Homo-oligomer: A and B are copies of this chain.
């Protein structure tokens, strides 16, 4: 069960925006969109983003410097994330596949290093874009 987090005012404004958006959002696009709600500075956005990432409500798509709402309420709070990214339309979706997450969470290599976290990004063409 996931801990219930009471979002603060700014966190809520920013989470709601990202959650409503179709795809990943970039920080300065978020900033632009929340200025009418009184959030004026980049730092206000980045602070809320940091917190939202930390508690697993959103994830950062590292290869795109963009943020997406978690589409998988049962995922291990930002510790194990996998995404599918269309290189044509930039559509992103979170992959929720228990076999994959089990495989990766248990993965260990010859170095003997134990991993507590991973992020995986797959790239390709989505169905729509492939059929064009």
Task: Name A's B-contacting residues (CB within 8 A).
Answer: 62-63, 84, 86-87, 93, 95, 97, 100, 103-104, 107, 109, 111-127, 130
A97 to B84, CA, bound (A): 22
A122-B127 CB under 8 A given contacts A63-B62, A100-B107, A107-B100: no
Contact A119 B121 (CB under 8 A): yes
A121 to B61, CA, bound (A): 12
One complex includes copies of this chain to the number of 2
A113-B100 CB under 8 A given contacts A120-B120, A121-B118: no
Residue from the set A103, A111, A118 with the largest chain B CB neighbour count within 10 Å: A118
Contact B120 A116 (CB under 8 A): no
